[in-house]
Amino acid sequence: MNNGKDHLIAVTGLKKIYRMGDVEVAALRGVDLNIERGEFVAIAGPSGSGKSTLFYILGGLASATAGKVLIDGKDLAGMSDSERTRVRRELVGFVFQKYNLLPTLSALDNIGMAQFIAGKPAGTEGWFRQALDLLGVGHRLQHKPRSLSGGEQQRVAIARAIVNQPALLLADEPTGNLDTENSEIVLKLLRDLNQKTGQTILMITHNPEAAAYAHRTIHMRDGRILESGA
């Protein structure tokens, strides 16, 4: 059995219980998961099966109730709030279904803000310039999100997520709000990104066609992982 050294992500016995007053919701009931560096993995499963919750924990947005979560050799379980803030800043990049760009800032400034928060000098280094060209949004950077199409916004969001070269890119239904054409563009982008830069990507999706872009698909149900396909 691997001890996590060879894996970018090594999760064992992960549990998450949400408490709302007296009510407890067990969102994750013991998840084991290994992801190798450079993998592009899709996660599928019915609504409420705990996919987003798993992402929030992997991305340091939520704390685990029990279990072990190693990312890049760091154990996220038992981290303090400020340590998890550092994980978000340095280790992961998020892409959401609803794009989640800052509406008052231009596309470029959205990306710059991610760099600023990570303490990196704003600007577009050589490789990132290439990534922007790859994403096909280089010419729309001065616009505010409002005047960009959904597909463009999502591409900017991807650019923002990778600008600090995170070890892990987490995309939660990135095509959920997009039409077929734009979905295809975004999915191809993610695949290119994975192939050309070796970016490790985890992507939640309900859509089998979208999942087909990944190397393999993990299925979740009731807070557990069912099987992992090749």
Partner 1 sequence: MTNKLVIENLKHRWVRTLLSAAAVGVQVTMILTLVGISFGMLDDLGRRSRGAGADILIRAPGSSIISLSTAPMPEKILDFLRTIPNVAIATATTVQPMGGTNTVTGIDLDAFSRMSGGFRYVKGGAFQKPDDILIDEYWSRQYGLKVGSVMKFWNREWNVCGIVEPGKLSRVFLPIRLAQELTGNTGKITSIFLKLQDPSQTAATIAAIKQQLTDYQVFSIDEYVSLLSVDNVQGLKWFIYVVIGVAVIVGFLVVFLSMYTAVLERTREIGILKSLGATPGFIVGILLRETVILALTGSVVGIALSFATRWAIMNLVPGSLTQMIVPNWWPIAAGISLIGSLAGALYPGWKAARQDAIEALAYE
Ligand X SMILES: Nc1ncnc2c1ncn2[C@@H]1O[C@H](COP(=O)(O)OP(=O)(O)OP(=O)(O)O)[C@@H](O)[C@H]1O
Report which residue type is found at 37. R
Residue 68's closest CA among 1, 149, 154?
A: 1
Q: Which residues contact 212 (CB under 8 A, 6 or more apart)?
A: none
17 binds, among partner 1, Mg ion, ligand X, none (CB under 5 to 8 A by kind): none
Q: Alpha carbon 111 to chain centroid distance?
A: 16
Q: Which of 25, 66, 122, 226 binds ligand X (CB under 6 A)?
A: 25
Contact partner at residue 90 from ligand X, partner 1, Mg ion, none, CB < 5 to 8 Å by partner kind? partner 1
Q: Does residue 85 belong to the site contacting partner 1 (CB under 8 A)?
A: yes
Torsion, Cα of 196, 198, 204, 209 (10° steps)? 40
Q: Which stretch binds Mg ion (CB under 5 A): 2-10, 30-38, 49-57, 148-156?
A: 49-57
Of 59, 67, 145, 174, the one binding partner 1 (CB under 8 A) is: 59
Measured distance CA(173)–CA(167) in Å, rounded:
19
Question: Is 53 an interacting residue with respect to Mg ion (CB under 5 A)?
Answer: no
Q: Which of 65, 100, 165, 177 binds partner 1 (CB under 8 A)?
A: 100
Residue pair 19/192 in contact (Cβ under 8 Å)? The answer is no
Among 6, 18, 32, 142, binds ligand X (CB under 6 A): 18
Is the CB of 39 or the CB of 173 nearer to Mg ion?
173
Distance from C-alpha of 223 to C-alpha of 207, rounded to nearest angstrom: 19
Residues near partner 1 (CB under 8 A) are 56, 59, 61-62, 82, 85-90, 94, 96, 100-105, 109, 112-114, 116-118, 122, 160
